[in-house]
Each structure stands twice: as C-alpha cells, then as structure tokens.
Structure 1
Amino acid sequence: MRVRRLDKKHDWTFGNGFNSYANQSESIAQCVTTRLWSFTNDWFLDLDHGLPWLDKMGKAINLSELELKIKRQVLETQGVKQLTHYESNFNADERTLTIIVDYLDIYGTSHSAVYRS
C-alpha cells in the first residue's frame, strides 16, 4: 500500500517525488488515523464512510456503541491485522473524548492511534 503523506496540518505533501508518499506500515498508520478522524456523510462517494462524530454532538453518548464502531473502523482499515488495546476517556465537564487504539499491522509492526476531541 502506498499513500500520499500528510503534513502536520493534515494536508497532502507535494514536491518531494517519492518522498511525498508513505509505504507499508507508515501508510497503514496514516490510514488508521485518517479513518478515526473521518465523519459520516462527509465523503460524497461513500456517505457511510467515517464515524458518527457529528451525530453524537450535544447528545448523551453511548460509549459501548461508539467503541464498537471505532473498533470496526480500525479493523476494516486495509493492512490492520488485529487490535491489541482500546482505551477511551470521556470527560463530561470539559466535553472532551480521548481514544487510544493500539493495533498490529500485516507487517508485524505495532502502532498506536489517538483521537482527541
């Protein structure tokens, strides 16, 4: 798998030839992170792609239901072999959600992806 690298602002990188692309484990890690930050109904080619972040805003959160969707999103990412750890922390007072997902890719490399809202 090969994907265009993202910079610190999550924009595609250009102008560096093949160095503008991520390969193997790096590309899988980037895809997992991108999928965690994806919103449903945001990509016109696949309205089911992404997680229901906007649907959950301002409503009571069912963390176990959301956990299943997040785990499925990570496991369905091309190149992810298995989840090794999942942790979430919802702080109602600060209205923040932190999710940490550890996983193993098809190359045998362990990764950690973090989502913070």
Structure 2
Amino acid sequence: MTTDTNSVRRLDKNHDWTFGQGMNNYATESESIKQRVQTRLWSFTNDWFLDLEHGVPWLELMGRNVDWSKLEKEVKNCVLRTDGVASIVDYSTDLDVDTRKLIIQIEYQDIYYQTNTVTYQGEV
C-alpha cells in the first residue's frame, strides 16, 4: 500500500499515529496540510534530526522579556514554510498572565482554497 506525497498518517486525540483502518488512516489535501501545520507548531527547532529547521524555536523565544513581534514573525514563517499553505489570513495571541497560558490562533488559506484555523497552547 502506497500513499501520495501529500498524505500523512492521521493522529489520534493523543497525537499518536492511527492504525488498522488502511487508507482511512491517512489524511489528504486540506486535512493533511492542517495536520502538518499543527505538528510544526508543536515541534521545537533542532529537535528532528531529518530537518533541524522543522518547528518553532520555542526555547529561544519564550524566555524572559518575550519579544512578541519576533515570536509572531517566527510562528508565521513556520506556518508559511509548510507545504500547501498559500497565505496567512489572521493571527492572534492571548496571554493569561495569571496562569501563564499562551494561546496562538492562526487562520490560513491552503493551496486548495480552503481556510483553516490551528491553535497552539503553551506556557510562558
């Protein structure tokens, strides 16, 4: 069984690969792009030996005195470097200073003219 280069194995709610459903375990087109964007946002740069540029340099960006414009630039660049992303439509951040929870939402358009939103949640 082979898959095309635009498909990815679907992830379950725990972010583990899914198995046992044949081709139904693979996401294609817009769903594939959305999963790749989300996975890149969850990833740290220099963490995947096959592509050291994959992900976001979270450790560098999230220290003391966060440079929010640099963070936004890095996150947007990460999304735009994802195969299949045509443009970013909207970007927003929300920081709860009491809980130190950061939520980033990015709305983008893909090469299939679909608009999707991905969310990153972390702590600063």
TM range (shorter): over 0.9
Q: Identity over the aligned pairs, expressed in percent?
A: 53
Tell me whether 1:94 sits opposite 2:96 in the alignment.
Answer: no
- The letter for the 2-side match of 1:10 is H
Tell me whether 1:81 sits opposite 2:107 in the alignment.
Answer: no
Which residue of the partner structure matches residue 44 of structure 2? 39
- The letter for the 2-side match of 1:61 is V
Q: Deviations over 1:65-104 (max 9, x none)?
A: 0100000111111011111000011223221111000011
Query: Structure 1: which 5+ runs fail to align?
Result: none
Q: Deviations over 1:92-117 (max 9, x none)?
A: 32211110000111111110000011
Cα RMSD for the two superposed structures: 1.2
Tell me whether 1:12 sits opposite 2:27 in the alignment.
Answer: no
Residues matched between the structures, number: 117
* TM-score normalized with structure 2 length: 0.88
Tell me whether 1:72 sits opposite 2:70 in the alignment.
Answer: no
* TM-score normalized with structure 1 length: 0.93
Runs of 4+ in 1 over 6 A off after TM superposition: none
Which range moves more in the overlay, 49-58 or 80-89?
A: 49-58
Tell me whether 1:29 sits opposite 2:17 in the alignment.
Answer: no
